[in-house]
């Protein structure tokens, strides 16, 4: 992951080296060699994704003139979006993602939780099913509103099992357990907010150059204080990705570029906004498609 960026760009190499130093983990080596089981650990996966996204952004800016009309990032990707908008530098994003990942990993060790995708059920009945499945101190809630008919729930394993039964009764076609480290974007992640509050206090937040559409509210802002508060709230709040994409359209966006590893977000854009143009940049081979999108 990110190997061709390292080969292409001195700045990309610097970012991976900085990730190693900031986290105290061999992020560069794990991205290059694995093993996959270690790379997908929460404390490694989040810095790895952000580092690769920042390296991709650095390479793109060396090859193209990027002038986004607005930006957004999904979950931990919001940190890379802040860098793209000039809210803070890459070094600050790596400091914050390390604090976020370490705090989340600590929660995952204490809480027997997970996430699941619910296919074919609308938001309102799924919220009702989550409420009915949450009791006796064991809860499940909506975590990611990714695309129409593709919603993610998060919480305690026993609550997710109860939710699966209720969701099927409400008309869900499938409930797919996700291979994740814990109950992300749920109430169980509230302790992470306290750790991030300490970390963000050391970071200078600038006014964003372009609007940033926030995960927790799907509102657009350039305000430094609001951007700081968002990072504290989004870790235990649902990612409102469907509403985020529609907000970007309202801001005038008709071309969407996913920067970073994978093409999951590109797929979500196509499902939610079938009339817009989309491309992704996760490897050097993607550069011609990006040029075509921006031309």
Q: What is the DSSP string of 69-109?
A: S-B---TTHHHHHHHHTTSS-HHHHHHHHHHHHHHHHHHHH
pLDDT of residue 1: 84
pLDDT for residue 182 is more than 90: yes
From 9, 75, 114, 186, the catalytic residue: 75
| Residues paired with residue 10 on neighbouring β-strands, in sequence order | none
What average pLDDT does range 216-228 have in this prediction? 98
Q: How far apart are CA 142 and CA 131, in angstroms?
A: 10
Read off the DSSP letter of residue 8.
H
The number of beta carbons lying within 10 Å of the beta carbon of residue 275 is 7
First to last CA, the chain: 27
Catalytic choice (92, 185, 186, 237) = 185
Has 74 been annotated as catalytic? Answer: no
How much of the chain, in percent, has pLDDT values that exceed 90?
Answer: 95
Q: Which residues pair with 73 in a beta bridge?
A: none
Contact 61, 8 (CB under 8 A): no
Is the confidence at residue 239, as pLDDT, over 90?
yes
Please, what are the domains in the chain?
3-108+188-294 (3.40.366.10), 112-181 (3.30.70.250)
Question: Is there a contact between 48 and 1 (Cβ–Cβ < 8 Å)?
Answer: yes
Query: Which residue pairs, CB below 8 angstroms and at least 24 apart, start in 6-15?
Result: 6/32, 6/55, 8/59, 8/284, 9/55, 9/58, 9/59, 9/62, 11/55, 11/58, 11/59, 11/62, 12/55, 12/58, 12/59, 15/51, 15/54, 15/55, 15/58, 15/90, 15/94
Mean pLDDT of 206-212: 98
User: Is 75 a residue of the active site?
Assistant: yes
Q: Which residues contact 134 (CB under 8 A, 6 or more apart)?
A: 140, 141, 155, 159
* pLDDT tens digit sequence for 58-97: 999 999 988 999 999 999 999 999 999 999 999 999 999 9
| Listed residue (193, 194, 227) closest to 209, CA to CA | 227
* Rounded Cα gap, residues 193 and 100, in angstroms: 8
**Residue 177 confidence (pLDDT):** 95
Mean pLDDT on 41-63: 96
Q: How many CA atoms lie within 13 A of 169 on its CB side?
A: 11
Residue 134: helix, strand or coil by DSSP?
coil
- Overall average pLDDT of the 150-164 stretch: 97
Quick one: angle between helices 224-233 and 190-200, nearest 10? 150
Does 139 score more than 90 pLDDT? yes
User: Residue 160 and residue 81: Cα distance in Å, rounded?
Assistant: 31
- How far is CA 73 from its chain centroid? 6
Region for 221 from its dihedrals, namely left if φ exceeds 0, alpha if ψ lies in -120 to 50, beta otherwise: beta
User: Strand, coil or helix: what is 45?
Assistant: helix
For residue 231, pLDDT over 90 is answered with: yes
Mean of the per-residue pLDDT values of the chain = 96
Please compute the mean of the pLDDT values over residues 233-252 and round it to a whole number: 98
Nearest by Cα to 83 from 62, 108, 55, 107 = 55
């Amino acid at each position: 992951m990110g190997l061709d960026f390292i080969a292409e760009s001195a700045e990309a190499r610097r970012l991976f080296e900085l990730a190693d130093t900031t986290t105290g983990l061999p992020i560069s080596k794990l991205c290059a060699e694995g093993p996959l089981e270690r790379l997908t650990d929460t404390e490694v996966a989040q810095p790895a994704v952000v580092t690769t996204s920042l390296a991709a952004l650095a390479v793109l800016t060396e090859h193209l003139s990027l002038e986004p009309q607005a930006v957004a990032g999904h979950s931990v990707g919001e940190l890379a979006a802040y860098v793209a908008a000039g809210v803070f530098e890459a070094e600050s994003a790596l400091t914050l993602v390390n604090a976020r990942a370490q705090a989340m990993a600590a929660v995952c060790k204490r809480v027997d939780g997970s996430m699941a995708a619910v296919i074919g059920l609308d938001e309102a009945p799924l919220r009702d099913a989550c409420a009915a499945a949450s009791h006796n101190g064991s809860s499940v809630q909506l975590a990611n509103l990714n695309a129409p008919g593709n919603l993610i729930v998060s919480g305690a394993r026993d609550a997710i099992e109860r939710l699966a039964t209720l969701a099927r009764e409400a008309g869900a076609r499938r409930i797919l357990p996700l291979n994740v480290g814990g109950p992300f974007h749920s109430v169980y992640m509230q302790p992470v907010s306290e750790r991030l509050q300490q970390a963000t206090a050391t970071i200078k937040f600038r006014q964003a150059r372009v609007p940033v559409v926030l995960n927790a509210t799907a509102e657009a802002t350039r305000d430094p204080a609001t951007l700081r508060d968002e990072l504290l709230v989004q870790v235990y709040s649902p990612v409102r990705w469907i509403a985020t994409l529609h907000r970007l359209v309202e801001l005038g966006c008709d071309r969407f570029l996913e920067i970073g590893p994978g093409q999951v977000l590109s797929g979500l854009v196509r499902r939610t906004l079938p009339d817009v143009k989309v491309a992704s940049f996760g490897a050097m081979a993607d550069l011609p498609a990006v040029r075509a999108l921006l031309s």
